[in-house]
Homo-oligomer: A and B are copies of this chain.
Amino acid sequence: MKALMISALVASTVMGATLADEAKTAGLKPIPSNAKALEKLTSNPKNPTTSAKVELGKMLYFDPRLSKSGLISCNTCHNLAIGGVDGMTAAIGHKWTANPHHLSSPTVYNAVFYSQQFWDGRSPHLEDQAQGPIQAGPEMAASKEYVTGVVTSIPQYVARFQKAYGKDIKITFEKVADTIAVYERTLVTPSRYDDFLNGNKKALTKEEQKGLKTFIDKGCATCHNDIALGGTMQAFGAVAVYKHLEVGDFRGDKNGMVRVPTLRNITETAPYFHNGQIATLSEAIKEMGRIQLGVDLNDKETTEIETFLKALEGKKPQVIYPMLPASTVKTPKVDVN
């Protein structure tokens, strides 16, 4: 059985093209192994990444005082300890409010590689995206003025903004979001899969390579492509209706298009689908085959693909938990209501 799989793999590549080449032809791209190339790829030319901005952005990312209640930080729903998500079916925010469209929190890891942000793709980049949840009523529920009020009330934050952007920086809400985005741009997780696409033929096991081949051959890479293996807008339920679609559920953007989730670290981001109604990866794979590709993936194919997806578990950046500066008497009072 194993020998057969390997033969099949060899057969598919004897014509000269390696599996890595085939993957690239299918639109898959690795995270660059070269640090400079990676930084160039992830940095925003209009707001270049610097260590001062990254450190400040990390502080803001973890600071619950940016929320109206003082209890919810970016990290609450995009928790870097558990795959950059919250493990919920629908996100829970201010006053324990569930996301009104039953949407689960997408992972922040590798979100920099997305072409669009949010499930409906309404945001072009992380700088814009970061402004949303802070203000959204069912999430952090803070006004722009509240956020700038908090940050400017804390002298150490002001000093860090000046260090990051120059003495004359005006600390606006947008600048706070920009800085959080700079931090998020560093949250990439290279994996053995990237090593494989970058030329190390032994980085994936034969079984994982077989899974990658099945992934490509079945058409998964049609939507789950590029560096994120996701991140573009695609029609959801292209050939059949999702079996767990519920009343009130998110139905995509105005054209019914949905931003494809990354498959990187997918083993850490259950439950699956936009409304978190699928608990296991194998069920998610089969349902995707059925509603997007019109194929009934059998157990063998599903296992092959799952084996490949597990190889997308990446190495997380080390995070030194920030020690945040104390509030002052000028810091706006929190409001849990």
Contact = CB atoms under 8 A, between A and B. Distances in A.
Interface of A: 62-65, 69-71, 76, 79-83, 86-88, 92, 95-96, 98, 267-268, 270, 279-280, 316, 318-324, 326-327, 329, 334, 336
Contact of A268 (B71, B96, B322, B326): B326
A315 to B, nearest CB: 10
A69 B280 CA distance: 19
Contact of A65 (B62, B87, B323, B334): B87
Number of copies: 2
Contact of A319 (B71, B267, B316, B320): B320
Contacts of A76: 71
Contacts of A70: 86-88
Given A70-B87, A336-B98, A316 B323 contact: yes
A322 B267 CA distance: 17
A148 to B, nearest CB: 18
Contact of A327 (B63, B64, B270, B323): B270
A268 B325 CA distance: 8
Contacts of A316: 323
B323 A320 contact: no
A65 B82 CA distance: 10
Contacts of A324: 81-82
A326 to B, nearest CB: 4
Nearest to A280: B329
B71 A279 contact: no
A88 B327 CA distance: 12
A310 B64 CA distance: 24
Nearest to A267: B326
Contact of A96 (B63, B95, B279): B95
